Amino acid sequence: MKILIFTASTGGGHKRAAAAIKAKISALSPDTEVTIIDGMAAIGKVYNKAVTKGYHIMATKTPEFYGKLYKITDEKEPAAKAVMKSNEMYAKKLLETIEENDPDIIIICHAFITNMVSRLKEKGKLKTKAISLITDYDAHRTYVSHYIEAFVLPEPQMANKLEVEYGVPKDRIYPLGIPTFDSFSKTETKQEICNRERLDPNIPIVLLMAGSFGVTGVLDFYEQLAKTGEKIQMVVITGRNIRLFDHFDKKIQELDTSHNTKLLYFVDNVEDYMHIADLIVTKPGGLTVTESIACHLPMAIYSAYPGQEKENVDFLIKQKAAVLIDKKDGANEIIELLHSPEKLNEMKESCKKLALPNAAEDIFNLAKKLCGKE
């Protein structure tokens, strides 16, 4: 069996979801061939840059405009169709990539690629079955393309919106979850991880996932937290943002907080820190949220762009798995939360209820079912 997974570079979440699926399939069925391709990059450099850079600029520089555009294209079908129509001319290039790989089934992690695959199927140029994987906690109309055989949702409550508002047949809706690596669901004890990472399991640990923050904002917040004088440990992960790492390094020296701050660049064991943390301070990207949920880790959301990030926050708050903190007084809110074990435990239990640790395996089983290879 050959599976082709299309990702996109509009954030790292799509690629992590794809990698998690591939890892699970490799463990369960070594003979199954899984190929992961950045669909937008495959179409061409100009298109890829226009979409990825355009998204980044709108979300960071003109968030209110992006939020309005996101809302309009979700609420009004003609607007959504206009967005999808603009991608149709690129479908032919995508078809070349599909034909080169000749998959039995396609799994798609981005709405635009889903539109293109659906259009190819509508025109009779492609017969391969396809699964659309939605990686945020609210549906959006641009994900809905009527020639796609299955829609995988992060959680069950979204199913009603797809069926009632978007007209997706019920038998095509699968609330299987967003796939994460097994390591997010299985772990050593807190004591074992803390011993290895030189942290004290008896002192509260706050994890800051800082890579997607603005430099000034997260440094100001870190300084607020450090100056509270509370006996806490802070683990700061900047991702591949070397500029942010350097700024943090200087700030830690300036504040003389190296004794209670562990500063990290890119790490390949982020799940270890999620398992031992009492609270994560982060932005609400779909995969970061899902990985936190898998680790039963309460979330303090620092900021959210209008659009899918805000929808993620709204869902998490409603489910009592996260709180949205104020930029000016967020440090005090976090300390108050750390002093409220009942509240933290309630949030942990909420995450536990939301977790779908078998998502990757269930998606693989769905792929086999659609291909008649169960």
- State the pLDDT at residue 139: 85
In this structure, are 78 and 223 located in the same domain?
A: no
pTM for the predicted model, two decimal places = 0.91
pLDDT tens track for 55-68: 767 766 777 877 78
pLDDT at 302 over 80: yes
In this structure, are 155 and 77 located in the same domain?
A: yes
In this structure, are 149 and 8 located in the same domain?
A: yes
Report the mean per-residue pLDDT for the chain: 90
Mean pLDDT of the region 186-212: 90
Q: Which domain holds residue 278?
A: 183-354
Q: Which of 207, 211, 214 is nearest to 240 (CA)?
A: 211
Write down the H helix ranges in the chain: 13-28, 39-43, 45-61, 63-75, 77-87, 91-101, 111-122, 159-164, 190-197, 215-226, 242-255, 270-276, 286-294, 308-318, 330-338, 341-354, 359-371
pLDDT tens track for 272-292: 999 999 999 998 889 999 999
In this structure, are 130 and 236 located in the same domain?
A: no
| Contact present, 213 and 241 (Cβ < 8 Å) | no
Count of structural domains within the chain = 2
Q: What does the alpha-carbon distance between residue 89 and residue 84 come to, in Å, rounded to a whole number?
A: 10
Mean pLDDT of the region 17-45: 94
For residue 222, give every residue at least 6 positions away whose Cβ sits within 8 Å of its Cβ, in sequence order, or none. Answer: 208, 210, 234, 236, 248, 251
Q: How confident is the model at residue 318 (pLDDT cuts 50, 70, 90)?
A: very high
Encoding tokens for residue 102?
């000749």
Place of tokens 């798609």: 108
| Contact present, 126 and 120 (Cβ < 8 Å) | yes
**CATH code at position 188:** 3.40.50.2000
Q: What does the alpha-carbon distance between residue 214 and residue 238 come to, in Å, rounded to a whole number?
A: 11
